Each structure stands twice: as structure tokens, then as C-alpha cells.
Structure 1
Amino acid sequence: MNRYPTYYFVILFLAFLLSTIFWWLLLRDFNSSLIQVNTAGNYNESIYEFRPIDPDKIIVDKENNRKVISNIVNIAVKDTLSKTKDFISEFHKSYKQSDYQIIYADSTLNFIQIEVPDDQRIAFKNEIKEKMSPFELLVWDESLFSSNETNSKPDFEWFLRETNLSGSVANIDASDITIAIIDNGFDIYHPALIGRTYLPYNVIDKSENVQPRPENHGTHVASIAAGNQVSEANFHGICQTAKIMPIKIEDDNGYMTTTYIIKGILYAIKNKADVINLSLGLQSLNKISVEEQQNYMEFGAKDEESFWNEVFTYAEKNNTICVLAAGNSAMLTGVDPFQRSPKTIKVGAIDQNLQRTSFSNYGSYTTIFAPGKDILGAKPGNKFEMLEGTSMAAPIITGFVALLKSQNKKRSNAEIFALLHKNTELVNNLPILKYKTLN
């Protein structure tokens, strides 16, 4: 005989059914939120690939008078404890994905790149910090960079003599040191570079293909920093024994952007480069007065300045020092926020008379000057050519820093700065590299 009445089992069945429905609805909503972040939110980093720069989206930003991509805004979360996926989840609660699409994310730097409507870029930049107030954000445009070099008429080689770096000093054993050259492409089979390259990387397609672009730049820069001796050309680089890590950051359309550079720097740091050469700078258009330059350096692009300082501080924490070309605009170094970090070495250019070249940037942000006019270097196709620019001065310092680190790989950035100071002479009121000691 049944101990319980029929209605008792009906109640149990209904309770079980309601419980099942409750948990199904809860898990469905939970899974939907995960899908929103991981699929609609594009958080799965493995699916990201760089989008080619659309030439039709390049505009001149009237606020800062430089070229930017009209529909791209970059964001970084300053708090290193924050998670990229948390930002993405909150972002999609505030913005329609049909209008504001996350197209790239990098959890290493808490970095997110967002595609916005062209006519909303400035408004979006102005409101995003307030709208996403739980997060402390850096916000900046996708600006275009260019290499800091110009063509030069042929002249005799002089930069090795003037810096006291010719001869045996270039052969000091620096085989434990890695120099990363972040640039537009490389002829790694050139006699000046062959047998010296290590972990080549193309940030655009994530391959080892770093073949040179039509404009010779990366090959020339790498050869100055660390090229082999090539007797036929009466040439050798500053440090002939270090490993060269060639990192290509120019896409097939000839563009170099903020994101490409960041990926190149991260690759170099992750692979334990000791020194990074960045012969690059933001594309500026019209010159402005010195007073306007000083005002912009004091008040302008502070988010970008902060962001780049965080990147270079990250490099410093990993015992990697970054050497930057000061630029060829005959303006104050530091107008470009990329150059303001005290963690980096900024290099200006001098000519054969030990005068600042007519094109070199200058000012208190400039760490040191080195030869940058009529500089012999490698050219793809087993050739050599003369180029000029702060792009040529920077790798001279990069090669010298590699020599300094060869004496003690663990030397800190502060120690490298102090040694650079010991190896300078004040000529024509400029601190110019003049090798005296490695210790």
C-alpha cells in the first residue's frame, strides 16, 4: 500500500521541473555572457590578426597636426591587475557592437583596439574614460610613424674614427648580447648581416619573413649597429659580435603604426633582447614655433606620454634598454610623446664638423649626439650606400650600448646611462659620443 498520497508525488515532480527550468535559464544566461565576451567580444586573442591600414582612412588630425587613422582608437588599462576580459565585458554593456567593434586585444599590456565610426572618433575619445570610470584608461589615436632618414650624397666614411670605435673595439666578445632592430625590413643575407641574425620576426603576419621593403632602412640601420666587417667596402658596424634580432613592422602598403611598434617591442622583450633600436618617429606635418613646441610638450598628448613610459618601464624591468632616433624635423625632441620617457636614450645627429645637423631634433630630451650625416651602411642586394638622419645616429649608440653590456650583461639602465655620460665630450655645446672606456 502506498504510504504517500498522489498529490505528494505531483508536488515533488513540479518542484523538480521548476528547479530544472531555473538552472537551465541560469546556465543559459551565464553561457550567453561568456559567448558575448569570447565570441562577440572577440576576446580570444588567438583569432586576432592585424588589419591592413586602409589608405582611405588616413586623415590629418587638426588638433595635433599629424596623420592618424580616422576610425581607430587605442585603449590601455593602466592597472596591471585588471583583466582585459573584464574591460571587454563592461565595454559591451555600454557600447553597441554594431557601431563600436573591438578588433584587437593584448592581455600582456591590457591593450584594446577599437574601430569606431569616423565621425565619432573624437567624441568617443573624450567620453570613454568617464563612461568606463571603473577602469583607469590611456586613450590614443592610431598615428602613423615614419623612419628618420634622408638621402645623402656619397662621402668618405668617418663615423667610426670620430667616435673612436674603429678597429679592435668592434671585435670585443658580445656574443651573449642581443640587439633588436625594429624597422621596415632586412636583407639578412647581405654580407654585413649574414650569419648574425637571431629569431627574426614579422609582426604583421607573425612569420620569420623580414624581407626588405623598397626603401632601404632596416638593413642600413642593422649594419651600422652590428654589421660584419666587409673589407671590399671598408666597412664594419659598431659591434661585430652581438646577435641581431630583426623585427619587421612595416606592412605591405608601407605603413608603420603604434600597434605594430608595440608588438615589436613586446616580441623583443619576451625574447630577452638586451637593447632595442627604434629609428622611428611620429609623422609630423607643419613646423610650429619653439614656444608652441614647449607648450605642447608640457600639456599635449599626456595619455600617449604616460602609455609609452609604461611600455619603456616594462622594458627596463626586463633589463632591456631602448634607443630612439631623436627625429629629423629640426624641432625639440619630445614634441613626439613617443620620445618623452626618461627610460630611453634619445639620439641626435652631428655632421663631420661636430655640429648639429640642420635636420636633427635637439633640446633637453636629447640624451646624446652621434654621427648622422654621410653614414655608410648596407643596402639590399650586396650593396652599400650613404644615408643621413638620426636613424643613422641611433644605431651607433645602440651598438655601443651592446659593447657596454658585453662587459656585464646585468648592467641596469641607470648604469648604462652613467657609462654613456663617461663616454661623451661636450663639443659645440653638444654631448657627443667619444669612446673612452667600457667600465
Structure 2
Amino acid sequence: MKKINHIVKKRVYHFGWYKWLSSGLLVLLLLCLFFKCCTNERQMPNQSVRVHSIDTTKIKRIKNDPLGRYAVNDLINIYLKENTDIDEFVSDFQKKLPNDTIVVNYYAEAYKRIQFSVNEKRKEFIKNIAKADTSAVKFVTNEWVFKKQQNTSDPGFNSVKNTWFYKKIGVFDAWQKTKGDPNIKIAVLDDGFDLKHIELKNSYVTPWNVFDYSNNVYARPETQFHGTHVAGIIVAEANNNFGIAGVAPECKIIPVQISNESGIITTSSLLDGIFYALKNDAKVINISIAMSIGPQARNLSLHDQKLIEKFSFHEEQELWDEVFEIVQKENAIIVQAAGNDGVIASVDPMKRSEKTIIVGATNENDERAYFSDKGDAVNVYAPGTDIYSTLPNNQMDYLDGTSMASPIVAGCVGLVLSAHPDLSPKEVIALFSKQNDQNIPFNVNDLISKSL
């Protein structure tokens, strides 16, 4: 044993200086990579490639879609079964279609999701080939395009017009119990955010841009102001001598920019936003967007709307229900805007799940707002007209829409969870679900008291 130890020591002692140098550099490199991975573990989405950029010239209304929806027409999304290997699937799929150019744009290994760029004229044929592979493929969908749901000592509290909805839903009374808890993080998935705004600069954590694949989120006053307004409704800072305050001013938001530089939001960017929020421990996820439908859909009779609800978009419905089930299992709650087309909300397959809170809008007279989507799928109604909140460049102004009603509810969910953190997502959804058909808004102070 002594001889062996002696030989080892001698060899180490005579190790060439250049080898010592290269070994040292290798160790430093490994340490850098290690610390980088540890630092980003909570923030980086678990995926292999970021969301692909969008060619806006490819956004088209899809023929034969009963709602006249828009999609990026040269892209298809395929969701694989859990035991399917993505690399093997891609190789086999391309072999099935040797005469087609099928390019992988994007994939998320953790969620078995892959996006292909294909020839527009061959897209439906290629989708059908994918659907036929039932052993590996779960869902096949278009890259749908979504739209934002706005209709076009804090001094703002001095104006009744600015604060009518606070009193309407019992926020002032609820604040006697809680103004929120910074451990309750509310993810806001939207077009962009002005995080330098006086009302928001102290109210956020872990921002993310799914297109830039970085924490570089931004807003533009003319085109990307929606997310800033939504964020302020939830967490605008209280007692800072500016504007008003959010519904849950002591909670924190996770701002997730799911639009590209043109303000376009797609299926993939929305899904990536949801999973990023989960990985960063969001308890509530606000989605103030809905499908982008053509103008003819607003003129459909109630009978035709119910036919669409019953017979159309079942595959998309199953996809969203599965995603929302994952969210529930992660102990989080999705709150989403019902939509502003005045139709039954469930024509949108994303609004058919019982695993989210779907929010319609009311006006100051407790009437359903004329633009608000409606029907049995809507869990709860909240004020959605003349809602005063933050806009880029330290501005404040009014917007209408279920986009405004949804963050009011998301903030109230934050208040309820701050007072009662042990409530499960199912219990919270049941608590907020409407108790009657009068379309009247809820009272958050009553909900907090009921859950005691």
C-alpha cells in the first residue's frame, strides 16, 4: 500500500505544468456552468428551444373554421404521449413524408410538445398523417393566434369614478383582513409590461419573455399597453402618493410576456407562459386573452353557438383541459377572461374546462356588460367597464373589457389565498363560481368570511 501511495504522489508531483493549466481551466469552466445552472434553475423554462419567431405574413383566417379564427398558417403543433421519444418521432415522421420539407421550429421535451414548419398547401394533409399515429400522438393543432380582451394616501382614490369597482366587490372591507401576502405570487400572462412604472416597480418578481427567452419584458404605449394595465389592477402599489392601488397590493406578480414585438400571442407562447409560471411557484395565473374570431361569429344565433360548443374543437378542448389539470396538480389556479364578443364563452375550447375560473364583465349597474361573453361556462362576473389602472410611461387611464374583470378576480383570489393559504384550487374555484344566474358581481369580503 505504501508503494502504491508513493507512486501516485510522484506522478501527481511531476504532472506537466501545461496539463495543470488545462485541468484548472476545465475545472473553472465546469464550476461556471454549475453555478449558472443553479442560478437559473428556478427561472429558466424546462424546454429545449425557445418559441420560434412569427412570420406575420403567414397569419390567415382558417378556411372552414366555424368561428373564422386566425392561425399562423405554415405551423402545426403536435403533442406527444408521455412515453414517446421526440427525436425518434421526428425522424420517423419525416421519413413518412420524404417529399415534404418539415422543419422543427420548436420543442419542449418536458411537456412532449413539438412545432413543425410545413408547406401551407400541404398542412392539412400533414396534420392528418400525424393524427393517424395514435400510438405516439395525443393532439395536433394549429398555431392559433389569440387577442387581448380590452374594449378599448393615493390621489386616485379621491375620485369615485376611479374606485367604484373596489366598493362594488367589497375590496375596502377585505383590506381590513388582508391586503395580500408577498408569498402569494400571481403570474400575469400578457403582451408586455412597463416594470419601471411607479405603481409596479416594487411589485414583481422573476419576469420572463418567452419569445426573447430572457427577462427582457417591455411595453409600447400605442401597441403593447394591455399587460401594464392588467398588472396594475392586481398589484399597483398602495400608499405611494400616486394613482390608486391594486386589488391585492401586497401580493407579487410574475410578469410573463407572451407576445412578440408585434403584440402577437400564439398557442405555443401561451403554453410556455403557463409552464414558466408553474416553475416559478405562481399560485394564481391570470390570462386576459381569448381566441381571435372573425366578425361573422358575433352574428351567430344562440342555437348555432351551442352547436359549435357541442360538436366543434373537441381536440383543442381536451388539450386545454389536460393543461389546466396539470396546473391544478401544481396547486395553482388559472383565472381567464371570458371574451368580448357577446357570445357564449364555451364556443372557445379554452373556456370549456371546469378547472379554471372564467370571468365575465359587469357595468356599474350590476348588468352584464354588452360586450361580455356569457353562458354556463362563466363562473363569476366582475366589474369590467371604466376600470382605472396603469399604462406605460407612468400614465393612468380607463379600459373596458373582460380583460379588466379577470385581473380583478385574480387579485381577489390572491386576497383569499393570503387569508386562507391552505385552500385547494378546487375549493377556490368552487368559492368563486357563481351562485345564481343574475350576472351580479361577487363580494370578496364575503368570500373571505365564508372560507373561514
The within-5 A match list for 1:123-138 is 123-130=125-132, 132-138=133-139
Q: CA deviation at 1:361?
A: 0.2
- The answer for the alignment partner of 1:14 in structure 2 is none
Q: CA deviation at 1:49?
A: 3.6
Q: What residue identity is the alignment partner of 2:323?
A: V
- The answer for the alignment partner of 1:34 in structure 2 is none
- The answer for the alignment partner of 1:160 in structure 2 is 166
Mapped partners of 1:55, 1:384: distance in 2: 31
1:278 aligns with 2:287: yes
Q: Is the 8 A contact 1:278 1:325 kept in 2?
A: yes
1:198 aligns with 2:200: no
- The answer for the alignment partner of 2:232 in structure 1 is 223
- The answer for the alignment partner of 1:349 in structure 2 is 361
- The answer for the alignment partner of 1:115 in structure 2 is 117
Q: CA deviation at 1:238?
A: 0.8
Q: Is the 8 A contact 1:170 1:238 kept in 2?
A: no
Q: Is the 8 A contact 1:170 1:240 kept in 2?
A: no
1:142 aligns with 2:149: no
Q: Is the 8 A contact 1:155 1:386 kept in 2?
A: no
CA displacement, residues 356-380 of structure 1 (integer Å, 9 cap, x when unaligned): 0110000000010000000000111
Q: CA deviation at 1:425?
A: 6.6
- The answer for the alignment partner of 1:322 in structure 2 is 334
Q: CA deviation at 1:98?
A: 5.2
Mapped partners of 1:343, 1:307: distance in 2: 13
- The answer for the alignment partner of 1:433 in structure 2 is 442
What secondary structure, in the 3-state scheme, does the structure 2 residue paired with 1:144 have?
A: strand
Q: What TM-score does the superposition give when structure 1 sets the normalisation length? A: 0.84
**Which of 253, 262, 265 lines up with 1:253 in the alignment?**
262
Mapped partners of 1:59, 1:346: distance in 2: 28
Q: What TM-score does the superposition give when structure 2 sets the normalisation length? A: 0.82
Q: 1:88 to 1:150 in 2, by over 3 A?
A: same
Q: Is the 8 A contact 1:204 1:251 kept in 2?
A: yes
Mapped partners of 1:437, 1:384: distance in 2: 29
Q: Is the 8 A contact 2:335 2:359 kept in 1?
A: yes
Q: Is the 8 A contact 2:188 2:253 kept in 1?
A: yes
The within-5 A match list for 1:178-217 is 178-214=185-221, 215=223, 216-217=225-226
Q: 1:365 to 1:173 in 2, by over 3 A?
A: closer
Q: What residue identity is the alignment partner of 1:157?
A: T
Q: 1:326 to 1:170 in 2, by over 3 A?
A: farther
Q: What residue identity is the alignment partner of 1:291?
A: H
CA displacement, residues 241-279 of structure 1 (integer Å, 9 cap, x when unaligned): 111100001111221111010110010011110000000
- The answer for the alignment partner of 1:174 in structure 2 is 181
CA displacement, residues 372-423 of structure 1 (integer Å, 9 cap, x when unaligned): 00000011111100000000000011001111111333421111023224xx
Q: What residue identity is the alignment partner of 1:248?
A: Q
Mapped partners of 1:92, 1:172: distance in 2: 55
Q: Is the 8 A contact 2:220 2:392 kept in 1?
A: no
- The answer for the alignment partner of 2:14 in structure 1 is none
Q: CA deviation at 1:318?
A: 0.3
- The answer for the alignment partner of 2:77 in structure 1 is 74
1:416 aligns with 2:428: yes
1:383 aligns with 2:383: no
CA displacement, residues 39-62 of structure 1 (integer Å, 9 cap, x when unaligned): xxxxxx977343321122111112
What secondary structure, in the 3-state scheme, does the structure 2 residue paired with 1:433 have?
A: coil
What secondary structure, in the 3-state scheme, does the structure 2 residue paired with 1:157 have?
A: helix
The size of the alignment, in residue pairs, is: 388
- The answer for the alignment partner of 1:401 in structure 2 is 413
Q: 1:75 to 1:242 in 2, by over 3 A?
A: same
Q: What residue identity is the alignment partner of 1:205?
A: D
Q: Is the 8 A contact 1:425 1:434 kept in 2?
A: no
- The answer for the alignment partner of 1:243 in structure 2 is 252
Mapped partners of 2:336, 2:177: distance in 1: 21
What secondary structure, in the 3-state scheme, does the structure 2 residue paired with 1:417 have?
A: helix
What secondary structure, in the 3-state scheme, does the structure 2 residue paired with 1:261 have?
A: helix
- The answer for the alignment partner of 2:301 in structure 1 is 289
Q: What do you get for the CA RMSD once the two structures are aligned? A: 2.0
Q: What residue identity is the alignment partner of 1:127?
A: I
Q: What residue identity is the alignment partner of 1:208?
A: N
Mapped partners of 2:180, 2:60: distance in 1: 48
Q: Is the 8 A contact 1:334 1:340 kept in 2?
A: yes
Q: Is the 8 A contact 2:49 2:108 kept in 1?
A: no
Higher Cα radius of gyration: 1
Mapped partners of 1:46, 1:300: distance in 2: 31
Q: What residue identity is the alignment partner of 1:251?
A: N
State the percentage of identical aligned residues: 32
